Amino acid sequence: MKLLRYGPTGQERPGLMDGQGQVRDLSGVVQDIDGAALSPDSLAKLAEVDPSSLPLVAAPGRLGPCVGRVGKFICIGLNYADHAAESGLPVPTEPVIFTKATSAICGPDDDVIQPIGSTKLDWEVELGVVIGTEARYVSEERALEHVAGYCVINDVSERAFQIDGTGTWDKGKGCDTFGPTGPWLVTKDEAGDVENLGMWLKVNGELFQNGSTKTMVFKPAFLVSYVSRFMSLQPGDIISTGTPPGVGMGQKPPRYLVPGDVMELGIEGLGAQRQTVVVETRV
């Protein structure tokens, strides 16, 4: 299934994409696409619903983030050897974990706001792993039993905030709109081989990232198991698993985003996103 959320910010309704690419309303079946809807039992019930029996959403308008009420937004750094190399850093011997503020989460096509003081705004296409059942100290062999599905994430990053000064990663990762998520949550039974999915990102039509999840250092099952040693993973939590090479920081010379730039990105079978960079106007 391709599960999604549509409607104005803060008023999203649950939906699914049917086999004809049309949005169907799920609000008569579940309240939201959130942790409560992502358990195996809940997903099994949703799978039994005939999409043609659901109301057709003729004009869904804005797509929201495909998961609502995310508790933890966990990210893995330097999880592609070639990205580590372009960053001038060694390949980690174990996963680098950091978090993005959940207030960074936005819809897949929402504008990305350049924060005040930003000088090094960057992009990162990533595979998101969405948790369906609580995971605590799970083995790698059983880790994927706790996964509901997968999605596309743009781990938007402000490198000056992240690396310069005190060099605290969270500062450069958690600004508002720095976590476009979606367009859909694709359940794991339909996501294909998530260890071998093509992924790409363009800026203003120019291809910068053209990679595959097959070059991940640490695979999704290992990451779920590893993270669960240090914190319990709850239904609706998201793990963003790192990016392939081609980020702005790695260009020679570096190429950072400015207002008006348009990012387009996607992962094979999981959909595509499109964001325009805009100036912060709320202060």
pLDDT score for 199:
98
Residue 91 — pLDDT band, cuts 50, 70, 90? confident
Residue of higher predicted confidence among 206 and 283: 206
First-to-last alpha carbon distance for the chain, in angstroms, is 41
205 conformational bin, left if phi > 0, alpha if psi -120 to 50, beta if neither: left
**Claim: this prediction has a pTM higher than 0.95:** yes
CATH number of 65-279: 3.90.850.10
pLDDT score for 271:
98
Residue 264 has pLDDT above 80, yes or no: yes
Average pLDDT (108-129) is 98
pLDDT score for 81:
83
pLDDT score for 232:
98
Residue of higher predicted confidence among 102 and 81: 102
Please give the mean pLDDT across all residues of the chain. Answer: 96
What residue segments make up the domains of the chain, in order of their start? 65-279
Residue 92 — pLDDT band, cuts 50, 70, 90? confident
What is the dihedral sign for C-alpha 110, 111, 117, 122?
Answer: positive
pLDDT score for 242:
97
Residue 88 has pLDDT above 90, yes or no: no
pLDDT score for 110:
98
Average pLDDT (206-233) is 97
Residue 149 has pLDDT above 80, yes or no: yes
pLDDT score for 238:
98
Residue 85 — pLDDT band, cuts 50, 70, 90? confident
pLDDT score for 89:
77
Residue 283 has pLDDT above 90, yes or no: no
What pLDDT, in 10s, does the model give residues 239-262? 999 999 999 999 999 999 999 999
Average pLDDT (28-38) is 97
Residue 93 — pLDDT band, cuts 50, 70, 90? very high
